[in-house]
């Protein structure tokens, strides 16, 4: 009887317009193609991960998901495109740790990491790595520290570029042990790798995926990853934390963001579909092949991760006094 009365009352309220049918309150989504903005050129890690997820989301959501590369200005152009997009759930951003570095590295950017975005999830994370040429005399991190300290002004280290997380990891290392170690920035991982394999600059910091193939092939020697535990992609290389070197955690993440203001139902649908994609064995295997540990955390966990990274890199950038403008 109570159920019958409830149904009748609901029908009356709907007729009066006091209640709204669920289909009207939550419109069908998605009804047209989505896009994932990649703030880098095709071929890089963000692009590869973005295209992989675009394919999986297309299959599960029944709509085409296209990848739009908007490279330039250290990722700021693409990030700003996503920030200014309509908050309707049809534009996503996949960003690396430049998202956490750039607010401190650039004095003027047109986007704000807190105001303009909703973190969705960290797709994967990869520590940076300290490596040397195989002929370099130091066989481990402690030996490297002692060697540089005994020969002030003699040694340099390479990175993928000023303001990148490998550069900032190198500066954290230099500052922690008060090393007279000069920084030589290269325009990306490719030129840095060439200089290190040739022995031109025998010491370098890079993202783990950049150096993993050469380390496995014996062309470089991995001394340590900038983390508390070893990376699945290179389990033979020790972690800084494992060696008793604390405060050296530095990684590169690949994370998904939405423009701020996306409705809760749409946000929840996207997060659910992305988590399903990240649970697929072939996706996890591909991330590991790229050198990333698969993550897939909650929006709250990823937001805390981003906040922590922004603060960590801000301190390093302020201490070494660099600006990219």
Six-digit token string for 4: 């019958």
Six-digit token string for 155: 């040694």
Is 275 within a domain? yes
The three-state DSSP-derived secondary structure of 292-323 is CEECCCCHHHHHHHHHHHHHHHHHHHHHHCCC
Is 10 within a domain? no
- 73 sits in the region (left: phi over 0; alpha: psi -120 to 50; else beta) called left
Q: Are 86 and 259 in contact (CB under 8 A)?
A: yes
- 120 and 131, same domain (yes or no): no
Last residue of a domain, one of 217, 243, 269: 243
Query: DSSP E strands: which ranges in the chain?
Result: 34-38, 65-69, 91-95, 117-132, 155-159, 181-185, 203-207, 221-225, 251-259, 293-294
**Distance (Å, rounded) from C-alpha 212 to C-alpha 292?**
11
Would you state the pLDDT for residue 4? 41
- 210 and 146, same domain (yes or no): yes
Last residue of a domain, one of 243, 264, 290: 243
Q: Print the domain residue range for 304.
A: 29-126+252-320
Q: Which long-range contacts (CB under 8 A, 24 or more apart) does 137-143 make?
A: 138/223, 139/221, 140/223, 140/243, 141/223, 141/224, 141/238, 141/240, 141/243, 141/245, 142/243
- 260 and 113, same domain (yes or no): yes
Last residue of a domain, one of 243, 263, 294: 243
Domain count, the chain: 2
Q: Give pLDDT tens digits along the chain (325 positions).
A: 444 444 444 444 444 444 444 444 556 899 999 999 999 988 888 999 999 999 999 999 999 999 999 999 989 999 999 999 999 999 999 999 999 999 999 988 999 999 999 999 999 999 999 999 999 999 999 999 999 999 999 999 999 889 999 999 999 999 999 999 999 999 888 899 999 999 999 999 999 988 989 999 999 999 999 999 999 889 999 999 999 998 888 888 999 999 999 999 999 999 999 999 999 999 999 999 888 999 999 999 999 999 999 999 999 999 999 988 7
Beta bridge partners of 38: 69
Tell me the CATH number at 143: 3.40.190.10
Model confidence, pTM: 0.84
- 202 and 53, same domain (yes or no): no
- 140 and 86, same domain (yes or no): no
- 161 and 236, same domain (yes or no): yes
SS3 27: coil
- 161 and 238, same domain (yes or no): yes
SS3 123: strand
- 115 and 193, same domain (yes or no): no
């Amino acid at each position: 009887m109570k159920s019958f009365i409830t149904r009748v009352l609901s029908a009356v309220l709907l007729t009066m317009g006091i209640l709204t049918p669920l289909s009207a309150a939550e419109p069908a989504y998605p009804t047209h193609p989505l896009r994932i903005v990649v703030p880098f050129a095709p071929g890089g890690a963000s692009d590869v991960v973005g295209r992989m997820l675009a394919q999986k989301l297309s299959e599960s959501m029944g709509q085409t998901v296209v990848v739009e590369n908007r490279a330039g200005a250290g990722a700021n152009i693409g990030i700003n495109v996503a920030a200014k997009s309509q908050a309707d759930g049809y534009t996503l951003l996949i960003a690396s740790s430049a998202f956490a570095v750039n607010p401190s590295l650039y004095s003027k950017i047109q986007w704000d990491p807190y105001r303009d975005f909703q973190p969705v999830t960290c797709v994967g994370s990869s520590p940076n790595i300290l490596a040397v040429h195989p002929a370099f005399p130091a066989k481990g991190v402690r030996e490297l520290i002692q060697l540089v300290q005994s020969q002030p002004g003699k040694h340099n280290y390479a990175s993928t570029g000023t303001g990148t997380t490998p550069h900032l990891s190198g500066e954290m290392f230099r500052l922690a042990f008060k090393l007279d170690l000069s920084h030589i920035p290269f325009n990306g991982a490719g030129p840095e790798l060439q200089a290190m394999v040739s022995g031109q600059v025998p010491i370098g910091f890079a993202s783990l995926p950049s150096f993993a193939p050469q380390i496995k092939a014996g062309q470089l020697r991995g001394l340590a990853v900038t983390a508390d535990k070893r990376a699945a992609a290179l389990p033979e290389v020790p972690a800084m934390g494992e060696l008793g070197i604390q405060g050296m955690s530095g990684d590169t993440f690949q994370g998904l963001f939405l423009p701020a203001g996306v409705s809760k139902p749409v946000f929840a649908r996207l997060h659910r579909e992305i988590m399903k994609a990240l649970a697929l064995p072939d996706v996890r295997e591909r991330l590991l092949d790229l050198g990333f540990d698969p993550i897939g955390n909650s929006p709250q966990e990823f937001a805390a991760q981003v906040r922590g990274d922004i603060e960590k890199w801000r301190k390093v950038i302020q201490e070494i006094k660099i600006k990219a403008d």
